[in-house]
Amino acid sequence: MEHVDLAVIGGGPAGAAAAIRGAHAGLRVVVFERAAHGRDKVCGDGLTPRAVAALEELKIDLTAAHRIDGLRMIAGRQRRELDWPATGRFPAHGAVWPRRRLDAHLIDAAAAAGAEIRFGVDALPEFEGDRVVGVRTEHGVVRATMTVLAAGAQGEAARMLGAVRDPREPFGLAIRSYAETPRHTDRLLEACLALRDEHGTPVPGYGWLFPAGDGTVNIGVGALSTMKGFKKLNLNTLVESYAAMVRAEWDLGPMLERPRAWRLPMSVLRRHGPGWVAVGDAAGLVNPMNGEGIDYGLESGMLAVDQFLTDPATASTSYDVAVGERFDAFLRTGRRFSFLIGHPLLLRTGLRVAVGTQAAADITLAVMGNLVDNETPGAAGRVMRLADRALAVADPVLRRTRAAA
């Protein structure tokens, strides 16, 4: 029977990062991707400076991506343009790279590094007792010392492993399309933080315009499940009304494809077990404050393999500890924050503060760029740690009084 070091379920950024890291280190890696090469992923295509750092670590050539220098934040009549800050840890630029091309580039890099990619193959974990011993596909079983679940938001493989969303925690939904614009080479991402649904209810989320440098802009909106009326929220209507709002300023053409929506997982009940780990969206690694997860996916993919290289026998538990140390406190703060902004009044007040002063806008920028985590020094790190303590106190009340769906 075939036996490999790593069997990776899913060939998105998280799976590709694990495969590149593993193959570079000489491991025998097989990636199972159910779609064909060049599949698209519903996404805003925005790469934070943190994502750029991770791609550079993976030796990915970014010349095909459209460079982005900062963020324009709009909340009602308030508007601020800020460059990504220079930090010791991350570069001072991000990028926009449409996912059809980014993901193809990454999986090709994994293949070039020596990983084997099997497209068009659905894979599910194979168990012996409670231990995952590899994957099962329509072609049979491939045994693996470690199986990496990189299958994105939910699905059958995740259900079999218990790697499902925590029903007590929030999640997001977002929708996007593309449109032509003469401003496709703009160097700023644009985020409209003051969205309202068709009934005038403030939406905790934002509308975005991410210029792709190829004649088009990625346009979309995302919302958090903590808002009142979330179940009835019509994302198609919301993105159409957002497009109407920005059409003149961006000289936008019609949507180039039917807007498509997808989930933003923000928690998971299990992200490791005997013989397996979950990375990227499959591990609930999406920032609840901006819906971004490519960078976390790349980092967690690398982290999982690093633990395996240190000691395959302890890799799944040491990965759980390492990924937790890097992300858990920040993501918990983000989830608590999403309950806070689910309250319309608190959302409106928060927005005034977030964009109202330069100091607050700098912190908002750091959060929007995924530049903050447990190790962040400076003002943004301090504010997040303080916010975490304050939100920890308020959390039970915010959850109890959460806007009824």
Ligand X SMILES: Cc1cc2nc3c(=O)[nH]c(=O)nc-3n(C[C@H](O)[C@H](O)[C@H](O)COP(=O)(O)OP(=O)(O)OC[C@H]3O[C@@H](n4cnc5c(N)ncnc54)[C@H](O)[C@@H]3O)c2cc1C
Kindly state the smallest distance separating residue 243's Cβ from ligand X, in Å: 14
The burial of 317, by beta-carbon neighbours within 10 Å (0-12 exposed, 13-18 middle, 19 or more buried), is given as: middle
Window 49-88: contact mask with ligand X (x via CB under 6 A): --x-------------------------------------
**Of residues 29, 294, 303, 355, which one binds ligand X by CB under 6 A?**
294
Kindly state the smallest distance separating residue 25's Cβ from ligand X, in Å: 20
Separation between Cα atoms, residue 60 and residue 110, nearest integer Å: 10
Kindly state the smallest distance separating residue 349's Cβ from ligand X, in Å: 26
Q: What residues from 81 to 140 belong to the interface with ligand X (CB under 6 A)?
A: 122-124
Angle at 362 between CA 360 and CA 364, to 5 degrees: 70
For 182, the token pair is 């003469």
Window 158-187: contact mask with ligand X (x via CB under 6 A): ----------------xxx-----------
**With contacts defined by CB under 6 A, how many residues of the chain interact with ligand X?**
43
**Of residues 253, 262, 329, 385, which one binds ligand X by CB under 6 A?**
262
267 vs 391, which CB is nearer to ligand X? 267
User: Among residues 227, 217, 159, which one has the least CA distance to residue 187?
Assistant: 217
11 vs 213, which CB is nearer to ligand X? 11
Positive/negative CA dihedral, 401, 403, 404, 405: negative
Q: Which residues are bridge partners to 30 per DSSP?
A: 7, 116
Kindly state the smallest distance separating residue 264's Cβ from ligand X, in Å: 5
Separation between Cα atoms, residue 15 and residue 11, nearest integer Å: 5
186 vs 395, which CB is nearer to ligand X? 186
**Site membership for ligand X, residue 157 (CB under 6 A):** yes
Instruction: Determine how many CB atoms are found less than 10 A away from the CB of residue 248.
Output: 8
DSSP 80-121: EEEEPPP-SSS-S-EEE--HHHHHHHHHHHHHHHT-EEEET-
DSSP 50: H
**Own/partner pairs, 238-243, CB within 8 angstroms, 24+ separation:** 238/175, 238/195, 238/197, 238/198, 238/203, 238/207, 239/175, 239/176, 239/177, 239/207, 241/198, 242/192, 242/195, 242/207, 243/179, 243/219
**Of residues 5, 45, 169, 186, which one binds ligand X by CB under 6 A?**
45
323 vs 398, which CB is nearer to ligand X? 323
Q: What residues from 331 to 360 belong to the interface with ligand X (CB under 6 A)?
A: none
35 vs 360, which CB is nearer to ligand X? 35
Window 4-43: contact mask with ligand X (x via CB under 6 A): -----xxxxxxx----------------xxxx---x-xxx
Window 203-222: contact mask with ligand X (x via CB under 6 A): -----------------x--
197 vs 299, which CB is nearer to ligand X? 299
Kindly state the smallest distance separating residue 72's Cβ from ligand X, in Å: 15
Q: Which residues are bridge partners to 224 per DSSP?
A: 172
188 vs 286, which CB is nearer to ligand X? 286
Separation between Cα atoms, residue 372 and residue 370, nearest integer Å: 6
**Of residues 286, 305, 315, 323, which one binds ligand X by CB under 6 A?**
286
Confirm if 175 and 238 have CB atoms less than 8 A apart: yes
Q: What residues from 295 to 334 belong to the interface with ligand X (CB under 6 A)?
A: 295, 297
Kindly state the smallest distance separating residue 196's Cβ from ligand X, in Å: 19
Separation between Cα atoms, residue 217 and residue 189, nearest integer Å: 10
For 38, the token pair is 């060049």
User: Among residues 278, 15, 274, which one has the least CA distance to residue 145?
Assistant: 274
Q: Which residues are at the interface with ligand X (CB under 6 A)? A: 9-15, 32-35, 39, 41-46, 51, 122-124, 150-152, 155, 157, 174-176, 220, 262, 264, 280-282, 286, 291-295, 297
